[in-house]
Structure 1
Amino acid sequence: MKLISPTQAVPTHIISGFLGAGKTTLLKHLLSQKPENEVWAVLMNEFGQIGVDQQMLPQTQGYQVKELLGGCLCCSSQLPMQIALSRLLSETKPDRLFIEPTGLGHPAQLLEQLTEPHWQQSIAMRALVTVVDGSRLHDANWSKQNLYADQLKAAQIIVVSHADTMDFADEQALAALKIEYQAYQQSWLMSGKEQISLQQIDQPYIGTERKIQPLLKIQKTFPSGQSQPEIKQLPYHYVETTQGYSVAGWKLPKRWQFDFYPLLDLLCEQKNWLRIKGIFNTNQGWKTFNFNPQQFNYQSSEEGIDNRIEIIVQDQRDWLVFETALMNCRIDQQ
């Protein structure tokens, strides 16, 4: 008989990744490593109403698989996910849990939900894994999407699938990707003929401190001593801090328009940064900015879902001066 302590937190892995990246294939291999005396559980999320991925997983004793169909458990109402997860934990009492969100999901939002205090006695979060298809790294239409970037930023471990089929262009793209995300200090694992072991991903989750607050100019209007509210709606400013690095970001409404040349001047004038990335609605059309210390790249882009910018630095600084200058580049009617 299996005895479970009521206070035992279940090691929990999130396996994320873009559509077709190889999440389910990785999950199948990880499940094959289950010790005979353990019970493992899987919570899968598919965007559509017909579940397919569940049928691809082992249908043998010792696994419990539950699907959450329709919508995205990362960013839709939390209630269906909370109910499904609570039932899975209480009914199965697993020794280990895997969660595979849809490829259209934002894993950072799911991680934010599962690291809230009321889950901490039930689940022990492990390092978030994002899978990327190594054989498609050369495809800019695939790799430059905002969702793809969001999934990479959320990852503590990045698994590069189909590594044995990568060509020279993919290898170059991977090298550039590692440089682009080096501030996040992620582990990169190659998966091809050599499969990933559970030990390689079974690492403690390292939390990222993130504060989402009103724009800094708005924050100055609050009485001294009053804590600024944390918000979700646009516009907002946020700061993430992890392992000695800070990421300052702004998300602004899509309808806001900026004067391209003053905006470009502002970004080029910044000092002592590691990375600047942004997308803006400008009077010259939608523009993306992708700056590293060696190269300042900007180009026309497809219409974005919002205006956004992130600046990575290795020190603490007062961002009000930058935000004020950024707002001065805005040219649409207030």
Structure 2
Amino acid sequence: MHVKLLIPQTVPTHIISGFLGAGKTTLLQHLLSQKPENEVWAVLMNEFGQIGIDQQLLPQQQGYQVKELLGGCLCCSSQLPLHIALARLLTETQPDRLFIEPTGLGHPAQLVEQLTEPHWQSSLNMRALITVLDGSRLHEEAWVQQNLYEDQLKAAQIVVVSHGDQMSGTDEKALEKLQEEYQAYSQSWFKTANGELALDAIDHPHLVTSRILQPLLMQQKTFVSAQEPIPEIKQLPYHYVESSQGYHVAGWKMPRRWIFDFDSLFELLCNQSNWLRIKAIFNTSQGWMIFNFNPEQFNYKTGQANTDSRIEIITSQLGNWLDFEKQLMACRLDEQNT
């Protein structure tokens, strides 16, 4: 008598993120329509409110299992509701493929961080993270420059531009500019109409980005001198550098209570060299200011108060980030009080 051993297989898992109204559910509907008859697919949806709507838009016939997680954001709220909902869905459904659609107010990078923890590695086979953006709204500057929108786009391995058939000439130019701006992130871009995209186009392994949040470089010197390992941290302020496809991204995030002298800060940014892009938002002596520099234009404008001050510099070669950080900290007006 032969006994067949059933070896548990990890479930291909796709995260479909995107800002509010970008077209995530429409894309998900089309992807679900490609399910083979002999497979069971599952969907975990997260709505910020307490009333579920999106679930009613998805297939309810045999072979699909849809579960909603209502209230809050599964990306950044307590992990327990997510872990419970996901564990139940996997146990009860035993799906061949899983799709997760977080709320448009979510930070997908945090969700990926949760789902790539050792606890889930025997259950989930994370696929390329997808961010959907509305191509017909790329001309709206206030829309595309929101910090949450940018966070979702930077986290993406695959960018799906929805409403491609409704894009104006201004939208097309904005898309070209956006692709150039995010070239350091090695993304694949797809323009779609009505969410029509083949599953094969997005079914690629998740690539781990080596972003480690560490203390400011000036503080790291104390660990080096003491021959101690530099710790990874979660709280502000922190610094990180990540590299991909010959590009380097250096970033800093700092508490909102830190106030920078606008003139000194602007002069520092203008004096930088060998960069491809500088994007920042700072609490300054002239209020909150947004900087968006490319080699052709040095743009800045007033902005709304943010949860933190932040800057990212994209280059094609590693810079002297310690020297830059020292000059950046010298622009602070409140240093003597902190």
Counterpart of 2:189 in structure 1 is: 188
- Please, which of 266, 269, 282 is the counterpart of residue 267 of structure 1? 269
- Please, which of 321, 330, 333 is the counterpart of residue 331 of structure 1? 333
Deviation at 1:317, TM superposition (A): 4.0
SS in 1 for 2:128: coil
Counterpart of 2:260 in structure 1 is: 258
User: Which aligned pairs between 1:274-313 and structure 2 lie closer than 5 A?
Assistant: 274-313=276-315
Amino acid corresponding to residue 129 of structure 2 in structure 1: L
Amino acid corresponding to residue 278 of structure 2 in structure 1: I
* Whole-angstrom distance in 2 between the partners of 1:69 and 1:9: 26
Amino acid corresponding to residue 231 of structure 1 in structure 2: I
Amino acid corresponding to residue 329 of structure 2 in structure 1: M
Counterpart of 2:85 in structure 1 is: 84
TM-score by length of 2: 0.94
* Whole-angstrom distance in 2 between the partners of 1:247 and 1:291: 14
Distance 1:321 1:5, change over 3 A: farther
TM-score by length of 1: 0.95
Deviation at 1:116, TM superposition (A): 1.8
Counterpart of 2:211 in structure 1 is: 210
* Whole-angstrom distance in 2 between the partners of 1:160 and 1:40: 24
Q: Deviations over 1:87-138 (max 9, x none)?
A: 1112211110000000000001111111122222211111111001111111
* Whole-angstrom distance in 1 between the partners of 2:129 and 2:33: 20
Distance 1:220 1:290, change over 3 A: same
Answer whether contact 2:256 2:307 (CA < 8 A) is retained: yes
Answer whether contact 2:30 2:195 (CA < 8 A) is retained: no
Counterpart of 1:12 in structure 2 is: 13
Deviation at 1:230, TM superposition (A): 1.4
Q: Greater shift after overlay, 270-279 or 309-318?
A: 309-318
Answer whether contact 1:4 1:93 (CA < 8 A) is retained: no
Q: Deviations over 1:116-174 (max 9, x none)?
A: 22222211111111001111111112111000001100011111111101112211211
The CA RMSD measured in Å over matched residues stands at 1.6
Deviation at 1:193, TM superposition (A): 5.3
Counterpart of 2:133 in structure 1 is: 132
* Whole-angstrom distance in 1 between the partners of 2:181 and 2:248: 15
Counterpart of 1:230 in structure 2 is: 232
* Whole-angstrom distance in 2 between the partners of 1:298 and 1:37: 55
* Whole-angstrom distance in 2 between the partners of 1:44 and 1:4: 33
SS in 2 for 1:189: strand
Number of aligned positions between the proteins: 332
* Whole-angstrom distance in 1 between the partners of 2:114 and 2:320: 29
Counterpart of 1:75 in structure 2 is: 76
Answer whether contact 1:273 1:314 (CA < 8 A) is retained: yes
Answer whether contact 1:43 1:85 (CA < 8 A) is retained: yes
* Whole-angstrom distance in 2 between the partners of 1:208 and 1:52: 33
Answer whether contact 2:47 2:102 (CA < 8 A) is retained: yes
Amino acid corresponding to residue 203 of structure 2 in structure 1: D
Q: Deviations over 1:231-290 (max 9, x none)?
A: 111111122233332211111111111011111111112222221110011112211111
Amino acid corresponding to residue 117 of structure 1 in structure 2: P
Identity fraction in percent: 69
* Whole-angstrom distance in 2 between the partners of 1:194 and 1:113: 27
Deviation at 1:72, TM superposition (A): 0.5
Unaligned runs of 5+ in 1: none
Q: Greater shift after overlay, 247-256 or 193-202?
A: 193-202
Counterpart of 2:222 in structure 1 is: 221
User: Which aligned pairs between 1:58-207 and structure 2 lie closer than 5 A?
Assistant: 58-192=59-193, 195-207=196-208
* Whole-angstrom distance in 1 between the partners of 2:15 and 2:111: 9
Answer whether contact 1:207 1:242 (CA < 8 A) is retained: no
Deviation at 1:4, TM superposition (A): 9.5
Counterpart of 2:35 in structure 1 is: 34
Answer whether contact 2:39 2:96 (CA < 8 A) is retained: yes
* Whole-angstrom distance in 2 between the partners of 1:73 and 1:301: 28
Distance 1:272 1:46, change over 3 A: same
* Whole-angstrom distance in 2 between the partners of 1:255 and 1:38: 53
SS in 2 for 1:210: coil
* Whole-angstrom distance in 2 between the partners of 1:157 and 1:283: 39
Deviation at 1:194, TM superposition (A): 7.5
Answer whether contact 2:186 2:244 (CA < 8 A) is retained: no
* Whole-angstrom distance in 2 between the partners of 1:125 and 1:292: 34
Q: Greater shift after overlay, 78-87 or 95-104?
A: 78-87
Deviation at 1:225, TM superposition (A): 2.5
Answer whether contact 2:159 2:190 (CA < 8 A) is retained: yes
Counterpart of 1:25 in structure 2 is: 26
